[in-house]
């Protein structure tokens, strides 16, 4: 069973924004690497690691929301309630810690 991908024009336009976010995260991590090489203090490094982690989690949430949205839209047209139940279980598994 192949899964179709539903990508709207609006979602497509957001990919450049997400690429920009990812580039900033990579820049933050490169900065952390330099801080480690320069033997900066642990609290300074930890602060920058937390900032990068927060930015990465925010990017993850964007993708989770997109997946939830597209999955529900794709499933609504399906008349089988079992398909909706399967999709909801899949989505819930993504957001559980």
Q: What is the pLDDT of residues 19-32, one digit of tens each?
A: 999 999 999 999 99
Q: Name the burial class of residue 80, with classes exposed (0-12), middle (13-18) and buried (19+) by CB atoms within 10 angstroms of its CB.
A: exposed
Calpha distance 68→1 (Å, rounded): 19
- pLDDT for 27-56, tens place per residue? 999 999 999 999 999 999 999 999 999 999
Select from 95, 48, 27 the least CA-distant residue to 67.
Answer: 95
Q: What beta strand segments (E) does the chain contain?
A: none
Question: pTM score, two decimals?
Answer: 0.68
What distances in angstroms separate CA 2 from CA 5, 8, 62, 81, one per listed residue?
A: 10, 19, 24, 19
Q: What percent of the chain has pLDDT over 90?
A: 40
Domains parsed from the chain with CATH numbers: 14-95 (1.20.58.1000)
* Alpha helical stretches, state H, 3-41: 9-37
């Amino acid at each position: 069973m192949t899964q179709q991908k539903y990508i709207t024009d609006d979602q497509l336009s957001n990919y450049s924004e997400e690429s920009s976010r990812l580039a900033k995260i990579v820049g933050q991590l490169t900065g952390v690497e330099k801080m480690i090489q320069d033997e900066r203090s642990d609290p300074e490094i930890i602060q920058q690691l937390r900032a990068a982690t927060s930015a990465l989690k925010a990017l993850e949430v964007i993708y989770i929301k997109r997946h939830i949205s597209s999955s529900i839209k794709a499933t609504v047209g399906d008349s089988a309630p079992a398909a909706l139940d399967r999709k909801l279980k899949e989505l819930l598994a993504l957001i559980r810690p």
